[in-house]
Chains A and B, each alone.
Chain A
Amino acid sequence: MKPVVALLTGVLFGVGLLISGMATPAKVIGFLDVGGAWDPSLAFVMAAAIGVHAPLVWLARRRSAPLFDATFDWPAVRRIDLRLLSGAAIFGVGWGISGYCPGPALVSVGAATTPVLVFVGAMFATVVATHAILARR
């Protein structure tokens, strides 16, 4: 049951990305093109997602355990440090070049075009390797 729900959660997330326009790199780049032909419509993706999720986070905080697990895996509180800001800055450059953030890139694998497969291959290899290196320190 648990892996099936996890798979369906991924499907629901993916359908949301596809409907929203996030899997269209030209649209994402239009959103980031603040000084050019700016298309702010993708700001509504974030607004709606937070509008739905924030009240349910509030609910989760009042529960002792999730449905399928013993504890909530809340992220450890992290300081705003150089590693966080430099990582976010580097990600932003890659996002601005490609118009892909990780979720839409994974969904776009379905199109199976060479550019997106190369992007996802490079992203997958480096995100796994960097996490592994950081975990060892």
Chain B
Amino acid sequence: MEWSSVLRALAGGALIGLAASIALLAHGKIAGISGALGRMFAADGGRSFRIPFVIGLVVTGIVAAIIAPASIGAAVRGTPLLAVAGVLVGVGTALGNGCTSGHGVCGLSRGSGTSLAAVLTFMVTGAITVAILGASS
């Protein structure tokens, strides 16, 4: 672990916490990305937040790919394995009602025991998966 990556982690994390706070204080919304994506077209009042929020994330990535390409790392698994992983992340976050942002950042900040249970569960199964597959394949 290098100090520079700890500093980047702290700075990036602070911005993520700030963005989650703006979502809450300005829009009254939980900045959970899987929920924003999964209910993107759901016909309720939250659509006017979810759609531009998701577009903002994608636009940031497009701009970053041009001006700071090193900030987006290369995929570490082959395409077939990533297709499987995409399905698992999509179905799992919908069933579990959240991901690293909704349960991790937002849920833990609220002191939610439910979110803590979810975070511990996906950390453990994630670690087991890496232990089985290895760090690259």
Task: Specify which chain A residues have a CB less than 8 angstroms from the CB of B8 in the assembled complex.
Answer: 19-21
Beta-carbon contact of B83 and A32 below 8 Å: no
Beta-carbon contact of B71 and A112 below 8 Å: no
Task: Specify which chain A residues have a CB less than 8 angstroms from the CB of B95 in the assembled complex.
Answer: 83-84, 86-87, 90, 130, 134
Beta-carbon contact of B91 and A126 below 8 Å: yes
**Nearest CB to that of B60 among chain A residues?**
A14
Asked if A15 meets B60 with Cβ closer than 8 Å, knowing A93-B125, A95-B89, the reply is: yes
Q: How far is the CA of A28 from the CA of B25 in the complex (A)?
A: 30
Beta-carbon contact of A73 and B14 below 8 Å: no
Q: How far is the CA of A136 from the CA of B52 in the complex (A)?
A: 25
Beta-carbon contact of B9 and A44 below 8 Å: yes
Q: How far is the CA of A112 from the CA of B66 in the complex (A)?
A: 11
Task: Specify which chain A residues have a CB less than 8 angstroms from the CB of B46 in the assembled complex.
Answer: 73
A70 CB → nearest B CB, Å: 8
- B88-127 CB mask vs A (1 if < 8 Å, else 0) is 1111111111011101111011100110011101111111
Beta-carbon contact of A48 and B72 below 8 Å: no
Beta-carbon contact of B81 and A16 below 8 Å: no
Asked if A110 meets B64 with Cβ closer than 8 Å, knowing A46-B104, A94-B89, A100-B89, the reply is: yes
Q: How far is the CA of A5 from the CA of B52 in the complex (A)?
A: 9
Beta-carbon contact of A26 and B73 below 8 Å: yes
Report whether over half of chain A's contact residues are helix, strand or loop; otherwise say mixed.
Answer: helix
Number of A interface residues in the complex (CB < 8 A): 118
Task: Specify which chain A residues have a CB less than 8 angstroms from the CB of B6 in the assembled complex.
Answer: 41, 44
Asked if A102 meets B85 with Cβ closer than 8 Å, knowing A6-B49, A16-B16, A44-B10, the reply is: no
Q: How far is the CA of A89 from the CA of B117 in the complex (A)?
A: 10
Q: How far is the CA of A15 from the CA of B66 in the complex (A)?
A: 14
Residue picked from A24, A32, A103, A113, most chain B C-beta under 10 Å? A103
Beta-carbon contact of B28 and A91 below 8 Å: no
B16 CB → nearest A CB, Å: 4
- A108-126 CB mask vs B (1 if < 8 Å, else 0) is 1111111110111111111
**Nearest CB to that of A5 among chain B residues?**
B26
Q: How far is the CA of A78 from the CA of B32 in the complex (A)?
A: 16
Closest 10 CB pairs between A and B? A10-B56, A20-B12, A87-B96, A96-B129, A122-B86, A87-B95, A110-B61, A52-B17, A126-B90, A94-B88
- Besides the known contacts A19-B71, A100-B82, A126-B90, 6 further A-B residue pairs in the complex with CB atoms under 8 A apart: A19-B8, A39-B1, A45-B13, A84-B118, A110-B65, A131-B38
